[in-house]
Structure 1
Amino acid sequence: MKNNIRVLLLATAPGLLAPAGAALAQTAPAAQPALATSMATGLMPLSLQQAIDYAVKNKPTLLSTRLNEQTARAKVGEIKSAGLPQVNVAANVADNFKLQKSLVDFGALGGGSSATTLTPADIAAAQSGRTVNLGTVTLPSEPVPPQAFAFGLQWAGNTSASVSQLLFDGSYLIGLKAAKVYEDLAKKQTQQAEIDVVEQVSKAYYSTLVARARLTLLARNVQRLDTVLYQTNETFKAGFAEKIDVDRLRVQRNNLLVEQQKAQRLTELSVALLKFQMGLPQSQTVQLSDSLGAAVVDAGALRQRLGVASAATGGGVSGLGDVPTGTAPTTGNTDAQRQQDQQTALSGARTGQLAAAFNYNNRIEFSTLETQQALAGLDLANRRAGAYPRLLATAAYGFSGSAKNPGDLFAFRGPDSRAGNGFPNQNWFGFGNVGLSLQVPVFDGFRRKYQVQQARIAQQTVEKGFETLRQSIDLQDAQSRTTLINALDVLDNQKANLDLAADVARVSRIKFQEGVGSNLEVVTAETSLREAQTNYYAAIYDVLVAKVDRDKATGELYNQARK
């Protein structure tokens, strides 16, 4: 993003940007309607805070990250559900078109080499109610071999309901602890994405503000150039100027018109980039309500925060005129202190109060890594808990039936059913059971051992990452601090150069009007002025971007955006 605005600023040198259209019109920030209402009317007044709020709520990448957060909550519910009763209902019907047979030793069922005999007369006597004495006969001495016998009928059915309740599982207890940590990790990842969006939107908004401010300044430069061209042309007509003087100004004006066209497109591109970073449709017209003067940081207070405050420099936020000037420090101690601070920052260290005040936990990356460390520890404990017994309470109840044909199977005859001859013909029978299931892992081929090793290594990897992250945060802190200090120094110098170039241009115009200066001197001074203006606004943007990077490095960007 920084490179984009740098390209925009350098591409317009030595000319200035053209005035933007209605989408970039400057208005006072008072009495702004709600974004939803303004979008309905076709024009959205947009402050930096409004742009950030809209992006946080509507940026597609953030919406995708929040879906991951919802997935994490659903995963937590999945883990908790394992401790609730598990109820299952099952039903099946089978056509045993070829029944399985088993060999049965019917000879052994007879009880030996003797048996009783039953004659037709004995049956008749029994049916008439008389007592029958059965006689014993001797069976053949040759044994009967086992015979094939099919159990069951062709059609069979079964339906049942089962319930199980987890009573103890070490992995489940640890999973409950990990569930909350996992959800916190998803929230921190969302916050990390929000911080990135705040950074991108802030830089894009500042880019547009700088472009708009330069467009306003360009309008004044064009008017001044037209005035000088008109006066020179009139002087030429009166015979007091040469035609080459008029031609020089016309060439400069033609070049400025070309630069205006290029700058107009680049300005529209910066607005499009802002809309993209916000997740705003490109067709939506926006109206920036913040001013660059309000966005410029208080350089004096900022230098004090950085530990490089100087009594010779300072500034405010009331307008561009309050930006620190390039007045040189009056004491050598200040220069020495500034150089020492820069060297300290480049070495990755912090001085005095700054070192004591820095808190790594302000960085979301550090907090996220702590959460990952907690998850790694819980994963290790979960692997170890795999050696604990698992106890469940179980219960089941159902019915099974069989018949020779489907119609008979689905007749659902119970215990009170009777056939035509009075015999029971029940075909469905109930069953039920309750019990405890204890599962004790004894030996799994050392699988759990290697799982524990992997979990321990993963935990150690996360722990090693803390030192790398601390070093990275220290480097970012040092880089952002040094970059911001340098940007403030450059802004001081560019403001001083701008003042000098403006004064040179003013004197050159006066000398030319009084007839003691040349037209070439005026053209050169105007070109230098525009170059100084370009460098000045580029320095302003560099300070704003460096301030955003500094706030992100110290972990303050998100809190400031949410105020």
Structure 2
Amino acid sequence: MKVNRVMTALLLGSLATGPLAQAQAQTKRPELPVQPSSGPMALSLPQAVRYAVQNKPSLLATRLAEQTAHAKVGETKSQGLPQVNIAANVADNFKLQKSLVDFSALGGGGSATTLTPSDIAAAQGGQTVNLGTVALPSTPVPPQAFAFGLQYAGNTSASVSQMLFDGSYLVGLKAAKVYEELSKKQTQQAEIEVAEQVSKAYYSTLVARARLKLLARNVQRLDTLLYQTDKTFKAGFAEKLDVDRLRVQRTNLVVEQQKAQRLTEVSLALLKFQMGLPQQQAVQLTDSLGAAVLDAGALRRSLGTANFNSGGGVDGLGQLPTPTAPATGAPLANQPTATNTGQPSQAQAAFNYNNRIEFSTLETQQALAGLDLANRRAGAYPTLRLTAAYGLSGSGKTASDLFGFRGPDSRNSNGYPNQNWFGFGNVGLALNIPVFDGFRRKYQVQQGRIQQQTIEKNMETLKQSIDLQDAQSRTTLINALDVLDSQQGNMALAADVARVARIKFQAGVGSNVEVITAERDLREAQTNYYGALYDALVAKVDRDKATGELYQQAK
């Protein structure tokens, strides 16, 4: 049925954020809804929006991404601070590595002392004898395996490095700030979407409840008519067919009311979901549907359009704008083009694309791409670092000997030095000059330039898309307002026809079929009115999104 189609559209579709304007008019930010100790939670639309902005899981996840971006900024800054490291190492060289050593390369053969008989006689005579040495022939010896070090070894050290110059780091600091700004804008865009979704769900529930009340009044009115007709039939002044027709009509209306009741419950569940509220939490909507009714006259004045009924300007503002007449004798190509769009002057004012969060986000991405290109170019600059290190290393035949920590003043039992730990230290500058990287940086710069050009083209496409959305939303809203006016008039006429039909039937000068037909037309007119109201509210939301006003309202 058409009624079910409209109710489903009210549930699944989007309703306007008209209440956001009401929230904007308030001087103070609405407080969060307060849940009483028992009973439902009272919710106005501003409270529902604020609750969702602070509690919806998807938006909380977006804020976590913003915190991640802030942490990345800190990570980038930390690279320019001193880097201090402490290292310690203990090793058990259970099998020492050996190396071949050619000891013969250290010198010739051996040597011997000569002692002659004359030397002996002279010595026995008390004379001083100088003994001479003779070189022995060297014997070739192959290289021998020799192990350096002891089984247990250890070392500990502390190192410090400080960046003195790095072009990529300087560019990275700027890029980090822009990246954090981009993350904040993405969070703002998510907040706008949440505010829009909650507002639509809130008014979807209000419209569903209003129509449910209307159905209840229709059932009550039909019950009254059925009771009167039944009394008339029992008195012999009506036919049983008239009573049966009304009963069939009532049965269909009750079924429709039950469906509307279920759809209203689902609509309320959708509102809780959009808010991030548990489904078991009872809520009470404090705003009325009257706050969502659009001021068609004010909207038409802001759009610079004409009234649907009169065809002239709204409230005597004048006729529809017409193009300027060309000057006599002037070529057609030289005529001004300000009115070629067919829109009035109010709609042709310069549009501020920065009102759209999508455009502002893309601008930030463009700035980030420019910094990325500068960072790739900075990779060709030299880097300079200051380095310093100090440490100790030791060794021993056993573990206890290693951890003896004997210094330069230590002596063994025989008086020989037995130091096992030795200090070392250094300080210096580390300069790195990129010379040739196989054209890798060249192609990286090309990719960065292409990325910039791609974003520029995307910005042009986005501008055209925004212009199209602006024109479409304006036309759609104007049409929706015209339909709303006509359907509101039709509903009033249908209500008057139904009232007259009932009076004629009760007076005995009208037929039962005429009453049933009039009631059916009235319900159809009511359904059409709510459908038109739904379309107008959605068109208002689209208009606010196209002009960026929804972003300002959400803030």
TM range (shorter): 0.7 to 0.9
Could you tell me which residue of structure 2 aligns to residue 8 of structure 1?
8
| Shift in Å, 1:330 | 6.3
Q: Which amino acid aligns with 2:488?
A: K
Q: Which amino acid aligns with 1:407?
A: S
**Deviation per CA, 1:215-234, whole angstroms, max 9, x where unpaired?**
22223222211111111111
2: CA distance between counterparts of 1:113 and 1:275?
Answer: 100
1: CA distance between counterparts of 2:42 and 2:112?
Answer: 109
Could you tell me which residue of structure 1 aligns to residue 522 of structure 2?
529
Q: What TM-score results when the alignment is normalised by the length of structure 1?
A: 0.84
Counterpart pick for 2:152 among 141, 155, 170: 155
Q: Which amino acid aligns with 1:86?
A: Q
2:465 is equivalent to residue 460 of structure 1: no
2:483 is equivalent to residue 490 of structure 1: yes
Q: Aligned to 2:408, what secondary structure does the other structure show? A: coil
Counterpart pick for 2:368 among 371, 375, 387: 375
Counterpart pick for 1:266 among 259, 263, 267: 263
2: CA distance between counterparts of 1:449 and 1:254?
Answer: 79
2: CA distance between counterparts of 1:405 and 1:97?
Answer: 11
Q: Aligned to 1:430, what secondary structure does the other structure show? A: strand
| Shift in Å, 1:413 | 1.4
Could you tell me which residue of structure 2 aligns to residue 515 of structure 1?
508
Could you tell me which residue of structure 2 aligns to residue 320 of structure 1?
none
Could you tell me which residue of structure 2 aligns to residue 293 of structure 1?
290
Q: Which amino acid aligns with 1:412?
A: F
| Shift in Å, 1:513 | 1.6
Counterpart pick for 1:63 among 40, 60, 65: 60
Q: Aligned to 2:468, what secondary structure does the other structure show? A: helix
2:92 is equivalent to residue 95 of structure 1: yes
2: CA distance between counterparts of 1:9 and 1:515?
Answer: 41
- Pair 10,156 (structure 1): closer, same or farther in 2 beyond 3 Å: closer
2:462 is equivalent to residue 469 of structure 1: yes
| Shift in Å, 1:113 | 7.2
| Shift in Å, 1:81 | 0.7
| Shift in Å, 1:512 | 1.0
2: CA distance between counterparts of 1:435 and 1:187?
Answer: 42
| Shift in Å, 1:137 | 3.9
- Pair 334,515 (structure 1): closer, same or farther in 2 beyond 3 Å: farther
Alignment of 1:165-176 (within 5 A): 165-176=162-173
Q: Aligned to 1:41, what secondary structure does the other structure show? A: coil
- Pair 463,348 (structure 1): closer, same or farther in 2 beyond 3 Å: farther
- Pair 537,240 (structure 1): closer, same or farther in 2 beyond 3 Å: same
Q: Which amino acid aligns with 2:8?
A: L
Q: Aligned to 2:155, what secondary structure does the other structure show? A: strand
1: CA distance between counterparts of 2:131 and 2:476?
Answer: 116
Could you tell me which residue of structure 2 aligns to residue 403 of structure 1?
396
Could you tell me which residue of structure 1 aligns to residue 38 of structure 2?
41
Could you tell me which residue of structure 1 aligns to residue 311 of structure 2?
329
2:184 is equivalent to residue 187 of structure 1: yes
Counterpart pick for 1:479 among 472, 497, 506: 472
Could you tell me which residue of structure 2 aligns to residue 249 of structure 1?
246
2:431 is equivalent to residue 438 of structure 1: yes
Contact 1:198 1:558 in 2 (8 A): no
Q: Which amino acid aligns with 2:274?
A: Q
Q: Which amino acid aligns with 2:282?
A: T
Q: Which amino acid aligns with 2:189?
A: Q
Which ranges of structure 2 fall in alignment gaps of 5 or more residues?
Answer: 12-25, 116-128, 324-336
Could you tell me which residue of structure 2 aligns to residue 80 of structure 1?
77
Could you tell me which residue of structure 2 aligns to residue 544 of structure 1?
537
Among all aligned residue pairs of Structure 1 and Structure 2, give the percentage whose two residues are the same amino acid.
Answer: 76
2: CA distance between counterparts of 1:272 and 1:187?
Answer: 30
| Shift in Å, 1:89 | 0.9
2:487 is equivalent to residue 501 of structure 1: no
1: CA distance between counterparts of 2:45 and 2:458?
Answer: 35
Q: Which amino acid aligns with 1:481?
A: R
Q: Aligned to 2:349, what secondary structure does the other structure show? A: helix
Q: Which amino acid aligns with 1:294?
A: A
Alignment of 1:189-228 (within 5 A): 189-228=186-225
2: CA distance between counterparts of 1:107 and 1:422?
Answer: 32
2: CA distance between counterparts of 1:483 and 1:272?
Answer: 29
- Pair 500,147 (structure 1): closer, same or farther in 2 beyond 3 Å: same
**Deviation per CA, 1:27-47, whole angstroms, max 9, x where unpaired?**
xx9xxx964532543311111
**Deviation per CA, 1:114-169, whole angstroms, max 9, x where unpaired?**
979799xxxxxxxxxxxx99965424255655443322112211111101011110
Q: Aligned to 1:161, what secondary structure does the other structure show? A: strand
Could you tell me which residue of structure 2 aligns to residue 18 of structure 1?
none
- Pair 476,502 (structure 1): closer, same or farther in 2 beyond 3 Å: same
**Deviation per CA, 1:442-479, whole angstroms, max 9, x where unpaired?**
11222212211212211111111111111111121122
- Pair 9,393 (structure 1): closer, same or farther in 2 beyond 3 Å: closer
- Pair 331,295 (structure 1): closer, same or farther in 2 beyond 3 Å: closer
Could you tell me which residue of structure 1 aligns to residue 281 of structure 2?
284
1: CA distance between counterparts of 2:506 and 2:517?
Answer: 16
**Deviation per CA, 1:374-397, whole angstroms, max 9, x where unpaired?**
111111111111111111111111
**Deviation per CA, 1:193-236, whole angstroms, max 9, x where unpaired?**
11111111111112111112112222322221111111111111
2:351 is equivalent to residue 358 of structure 1: yes
- Pair 309,137 (structure 1): closer, same or farther in 2 beyond 3 Å: farther
Q: Which amino acid aligns with 1:8?
A: T
2: CA distance between counterparts of 1:118 and 1:558?
Answer: 110
Q: Aligned to 2:89, what secondary structure does the other structure show? A: strand
Q: Aligned to 2:47, what secondary structure does the other structure show? A: helix
| Shift in Å, 1:338 | 8.8
1: CA distance between counterparts of 2:56 and 2:490?
Answer: 41
**Deviation per CA, 1:390-443, whole angstroms, max 9, x where unpaired?**
111111111001111222111211122211111111111111111111111111
Contact 2:167 2:379 in 1 (8 A): yes
| Shift in Å, 1:302 | 0.6
2: CA distance between counterparts of 1:78 and 1:483?
Answer: 49
Contact 1:195 1:558 in 2 (8 A): yes
Contact 2:33 2:43 in 1 (8 A): no
Q: Aligned to 2:194, what secondary structure does the other structure show? A: helix
Q: Which amino acid aligns with 2:221?
A: R
The count of aligned residue pairs is: 508
Q: Which amino acid aligns with 2:299?
A: L
1: CA distance between counterparts of 2:52 and 2:4?
Answer: 20
Deviates further, 243-252 or 145-154: 145-154
Contact 1:383 1:452 in 2 (8 A): yes
Deviates further, 369-378 or 436-445: 436-445
Contact 1:35 1:44 in 2 (8 A): no
Deviates further, 404-413 or 249-258: 404-413
1: CA distance between counterparts of 2:34 and 2:43?
Answer: 13
- Pair 243,288 (structure 1): closer, same or farther in 2 beyond 3 Å: same
Counterpart pick for 1:54 among 38, 45, 51: 51
Q: Aligned to 1:37, what secondary structure does the other structure show? A: coil
2:137 is equivalent to residue 140 of structure 1: yes
2: CA distance between counterparts of 1:66 and 1:256?
Answer: 48
1: CA distance between counterparts of 2:312 and 2:171?
Answer: 66
